[in-house]
Amino acid sequence: MRRPRRNRTSEAIRNLTQETQLSINDFILPLFLLEGKNKKSEVESMPGIFRLSEDLILKEIEACLKLGIQGFDVFPVVDEKYKDKRATKSYDPNFFYLKSLTKIKKEFPEALVITDVAMDPYSSNGHDGIVEDGKILNDETLDILGQMALAQAETGIDMIGPSDMMDFRVGYLRSLMDKQGFVNTGIMSYTAKYASAFYEPFREVMDSAPKMGDKKTYQMNPANSNEALLEAELDYAEGADILMVKPALAYLDIIYRLKSTFNIPIAAYNVSGEYAMIKAAEQKGWLDADRVMMESLLSIKRAGANMILTYFAKEATKHLHRMQ
Ligand code: PBG
């Protein structure tokens, strides 16, 4: 007679039989960079998450490295006055984002710094690609993404994160970077990025919501799973180093399918809306946020993610330290 409860009778046997472990090595912290000095503003819908200017982001990275967090995904918060239809600021070497990336890598060469490749933070219409007559132009956008990626690679960052969902961009960026000598700059591709309602708080942070239409002609339909495999096949063939699924919690099946099919690391992006929901419930006293956070992150890992981009990175790391 098999009694599965036997393996649950004590803390010790539960620990010994635990199949998945979260580790400090699992987390990448997304950071929001502001232009200027000594600037800090909390994101209303993401309590505990701040937009920070370069001086403060350097301090934040230093504190995170001390905690044991090694990966950072830096996003620029771009003032409206810099935005235009072709995202020209995204590859201007004098733009604050690129200058700060250089500074970050200089001060903390040991930190793994990831950048975002997409037009939306710099685009006056909030789309990830060039818009003409209400349509997103794929191949024309590649040229801008290429210039953006090269400008970022030039700063010494470790990995680019194309989050735009244009076709062919991974192969295009890979060969462009290789030609320019950036053979060791990696690509963490936003492979299965869904047209999701969970990005709302992020768009508030960046003031980057699309001014017209939506992102459904490039981001994936939440109903689709086979299509994620197709996207992954292409990104794999085009040379992506890491395949990402985004969002995470409503897409655990996609993480699982990608992990079972491809022999390269899978990342999951536990996005802004997933963070906001837990924090909002905590403020209402409806959930034990610490436990829900750890359970959510554990489930993403159990589904097959090798790494998790999460706004909880610091809190979860502190939690893991407390448990040691
Ligand atoms: C934009 C981008 C988005 C996120 C990361 N890069 C938003 C979007 O596609 O509209 C969302 C991240 C989050 O919600 O935490 N290319």
Render pLDDT for 11-69 as a digit per residue (tens, 0 to 9): 999 999 999 999 999 999 999 999 999 999 999 999 999 999 999 999 999 999 999 99
CB 96 within 8 A of CB 128: no
With the most atoms of ligand 1 within 8 angstroms of its CB, the residue from 271, 296, 312 to mutate is 271
What is the model's pLDDT at position 161?
A: 98
Rounded to whole angstroms, the maximal C-alpha distance in the chain is 71
Least confident of 129-133, 230-234, 245-249, 253-257: 129-133
Q: What spacing in Å lies between the alpha carbon of 10 and ligand 1's midpoint? A: 43
Mean pLDDT of 75-89: 96
Give the separation between CA 50 and CA 234, rounded to whole angstroms: 35
- Three-class SS of residue 68? coil
What is the model's pLDDT at position 212?
A: 86
Q: Tell whether the model's pLDDT for residue 125 goes beyond 80.
A: yes
Task: Find all residues with CB under 8 Å of 301, minimum gap 6, and list them.
Answer: 20, 21, 22, 26, 308
- Three-class SS of residue 4? helix
* Helices 54-67 and 96-107, packing angle to 10 deg: 40
Instruction: Report the nearest atom of ligand 1 relative to the CA of 30.
Output: 15
- List, chain by chain if needed, residues with CB within 6 Å of any ligand 1 atom: 116, 118, 120, 128, 163, 199, 202-203, 215, 271-272
Work out whether the CA dihedral 186, 183, 76, 87 comes out positive or negative: negative
* Residues taking part in catalysis: 193, 246
With the most atoms of ligand 1 within 8 angstroms of its CB, the residue from 141, 198, 202, 279 to mutate is 202
What is the model's pLDDT at position 323?
A: 83
Q: What is the pTM of this model?
A: 0.97
Q: What spacing in Å lies between the alpha carbon of 13 and ligand 1's midpoint? A: 41
The mean pLDDT value of the chain amounts to: 97
* Helices 226-237 and 252-261, packing angle to 10 deg: 40
Percent of the chain clearing pLDDT 90 (strictly above): 96
